[in-house]
Amino acid sequence: MTGPTYPQRGSVEIGSEKISYALLRTWMNEEYLQDQKGARISVKVEDLSVKGKCEYKRLGTADDWTVLDMQREADELIVMLPAQPAAGKLLYMISLEKGDKSYSLTEVPVVIRFKSFIPGWIPPPHVFLIFIALLFSTMTAVEALRRGKRVTPYALLTLGSMLIGGLIMGPMMQKYAFGAYWAGWPFGHDMTDNKTLVAFIFWVIAYFVLRKNPGNRFWPVFAAFVTLAIFVIPHSVLGSEFDYSAGEVVTGR
């Protein structure tokens, strides 16, 4: 899993202990205006003699690095990164210390992006319908290659699930998370929005070609290939980002 939704994982050996970690790359501000506690970053370290430090700064600024001592809670070392506005990003690095030796968990800083609260009923159908769209996209191509009779119905199901999951529920998630329904072309450069739009356009073309010529094989296969290719792009590449100097959310960084 390479998208920013997933933690950056790894391990380091300190003494006789192998320490595995999962450093967060996204955090939901459920109560940003009321609760300033921020993002909780934790590393499980059973050796009580091991201490930890966290360095962080706001992404895209000339801020100096702030250094925080990690606090121990049972077998974990904990640090709280300060809450940021929706689409705000922090760079942070974690280092562990035992005696006079220091161990940095990552070679380069981790980027964590903050987002506003998204109601729990939105993500499941959004993800499910995108998966269904990819499934029917592939099925349409296979049906076209075998000269089956269900190419047009499958193309319609692909188009419908992509419309609802990607172009209706996707913007709803974007609005809740980052304050804008649409951050792709022509208003911005959000890759997630743009790749959904491109896939949808190709399937609109494929569907109407099939309506006129049900035996056409090129367009459904080509649309499926384009869909698969663009959805390989990691989620949220060139996504929304809070510009601290301008005080607003921008895209394409």
pLDDT at residue 1 in the model: 46
Model pLDDT for residues 133-154, shown as the tens digit of each residue: 999 999 999 999 999 999 999 9
pLDDT at residue 30 in the model: 65
Residue 106's SS3 state is: coil
The answer to whether the predicted template modeling score (pTM) of the entire model surpasses 0.85 is no
Range scoring the smallest mean pLDDT among 16-30, 70-84, 173-187, 218-232: 173-187
User: Where residue 155 falls among pLDDT bands split at 50, 70, 90?
Assistant: very high
Model pLDDT for residues 15-30, shown as the tens digit of each residue: 889 999 999 998 887 6
For residue 253, pLDDT over 80 is answered with: no
More confident residue, 8 or 33: 8
Backbone torsions φ then ψ of 246, nearest 5 degrees: -90, -20
Instruction: Identify which of 25, 49, 29, 45 has the alpha carbon closest to the alpha carbon of residue 37.
Output: 29
User: Where residue 230 falls among pLDDT bands split at 50, 70, 90?
Assistant: confident
Backbone torsions φ then ψ of 13, nearest 5 degrees: -100, 125
pLDDT at residue 29 in the model: 72
What is the residue extent of each domain of the chain?
8-116, 123-250
Average pLDDT over residues 48-59: 96
The answer for residues whose C-beta is within 8 angstroms of residue 185's C-beta and 6 or more apart is 193, 194, 197
Residue 123's SS3 state is: helix
Residues 111-124, buried b or exposed e (16+ Cβ, 10 A)? ebbbbbebeeebee
% of the chain at pLDDT higher than 90: 62
pLDDT at residue 52 in the model: 96
Residue 247 buriedness (CB in 10 A; 0-12 / 13-18 / 19+):
exposed
Average pLDDT value over all residues in the chain: 87
Residue with tokens 């077998």: 75
More confident residue, 19 or 231: 19
For residues 54 and 240, the answer to whether their CB atoms sit within 8 Å is no
Model pLDDT for residues 88-126, shown as the tens digit of each residue: 899 999 999 999 999 999 999 999 988 887 888 888 999
More confident residue, 186 or 38: 38
pLDDT at residue 61 in the model: 92
Say which CATH architecture domain 8-116 belongs to.
Answer: Sandwich (2.60)
Report CA-CA distances (Å) from 113 to 27, 79, 116, 164, 198.
6, 16, 10, 26, 26
Residues 39-60, buried b or exposed e (16+ Cβ, 10 A)? bebbbebeeeebbbbbbbbbbb
Distance CA 212, CA 243 (A): 48
User: Where residue 87 falls among pLDDT bands split at 50, 70, 90?
Assistant: confident
